[in-house]
Amino acid sequence: MEKATSVGDNTWLIDIYMGDIPGFAAVYALQGEEGVALVDAGVSKSRARIIEGLREAGISKEEVLYIIVTHIHLDHAGGAGYLLQDLPNAKVVMAENRMEELMQPERLVKSARRALGAVFGMYGDLIPIDRSRMLGVKEPMELDIGGRALRVFPTPGHAASHICVEDRTESMLFCGDALGMYLAEEGKVIPTTPPPDFDLEKQRQTLEALAGLDCGRTCFTHYGCAGNCSDLARASLHALEVMVETVKEGMHKDRDPQSMAEELMQIMEIESPYGILMFSSMSLVSVNGLMLYFRK
């Protein structure tokens, strides 16, 4: 079973088989002349698969210098502390304003359990990360892994802690969940709006900013690489407004969240088995996130 797939020059997608499902969540490995950066850390249970994916890509544990956590949701940050045990030279790069939550993750795990409900079992747990192995992002910053210029910059909305990675050398954007999920079979991008700290206005601003970014390839944690960032950001913004109106109308009519999630499936015209699996895993969570935002 292939664990590392080339998606560009010295760039690999590692499928973490989250929940034992192929094509559900990815970690990306970006190799430069002087080291490697990982984008996202998967869940706690994906540690061995990520290490094996690096080996398959010809990357040694010592080469990894950065684990860039796009945000602190457990499917992106859960594996970070575990990976540090295997990667002796790596530091976790993340939003400075949320570093404390990975240093002392107990409250974060409890919050995730409440927000995710029945699907929490797919996400695993967290172990604390020492401050000495963390690098905070407060404003756009550059990471140099040797001949490959990476710009890491805040993109709040989906989560207050969200950051993206622009690979200026290869014209690629690693967007985490900033654009949402990419359903390759249907060529659609669907935003995800989970509780507890989804912010609609900041998400709109982030999508508008990403629509002005000139990157030829866009790589999603959920899942895979697609085309131009600008087009995908505009498509995500349009889908977001559809979701907003659907949930607003549903709340006005006092409808239950599950019925709104099912309506969104029909409105978005998601029909492929993979698309249904992906969207159904997050649609109710997204509806709950929007409802919480509107009630604040």
Q: Region 289-294: what's the mean pLDDT?
A: 96
* 110 phi, psi to nearest 5 deg: -65, -40
Q: Is residue 33 part of a domain?
A: yes
Name the residue among 277, 296, 293 with its Cα closest to residue 18.
277
Q: How far apart are the C-alpha atoms of 1 and 53, rounded to whole Å?
A: 11
How confident is the model at residue 19, as a pLDDT? 83
Look up the domain containing 50 and give its range: 4-235
Q: Is residue 97 part of a domain?
A: yes
Tokens standing for residue 157: 């909305």
Share of the chain above pLDDT 70, in %: 96
Tokens 């859960």, residue? Answer: 78
- Kindly report the average pLDDT of the chain as a whole number: 93
Q: Is residue 58 part of a domain?
A: yes
DSSP string, 59-110: --GGGEEEEE-S-SSHHHHTTHHHHHHH-TT-EEEEEGGGHHHHHSTHHHHH
Q: How many domains does the chain have?
A: 1
The CA distances from residue 212 to 49, 62, 206, 215, 230, in Å, are 35, 36, 10, 9, 6
With a cut of 80, say whether residue 1 has pLDDT above it. no
Contact (Cβ atoms closer than 8 angstroms) between residue 156 and residue 209: no
CATH of the domain at 187: 3.60.15.10
H-helix or E-strand spanning residue 247:
helix 229-252
Q: Are strands 134-137 and 91-95 parallel, antiparallel or unpaired?
A: parallel
Tokens 């401050």, residue? Answer: 131
Name the residue among 221, 196, 193, 194 with its Cα closest to residue 207.
193
Q: Is residue 177 part of a domain?
A: yes
Task: Give the model's confidence band at 30: pLDDT under 50 very low, under 70 low, under 90 confident, else very high.
Answer: very high
Q: Is residue 265 part of a domain?
A: no
Q: How far apart are the first and last CA of the chain?
A: 46
Q: Is residue 230 part of a domain?
A: yes
Q: Is residue 274 part of a domain?
A: no
Task: Give the model's confidence band at 261: pLDDT under 50 very low, under 70 low, under 90 confident, else very high.
Answer: very high
Q: Is residue 26 part of a domain?
A: yes
Task: Give the model's confidence band at 119: pLDDT under 50 very low, under 70 low, under 90 confident, else very high.
Answer: low
Q: Read off the pLDDT of residues 33-72 as tens digits, 9 standing for 90 and up.
A: 999 999 999 998 899 999 999 999 999 999 999 999 999 9
With a cut of 60, say whether residue 95 has pLDDT above it. yes
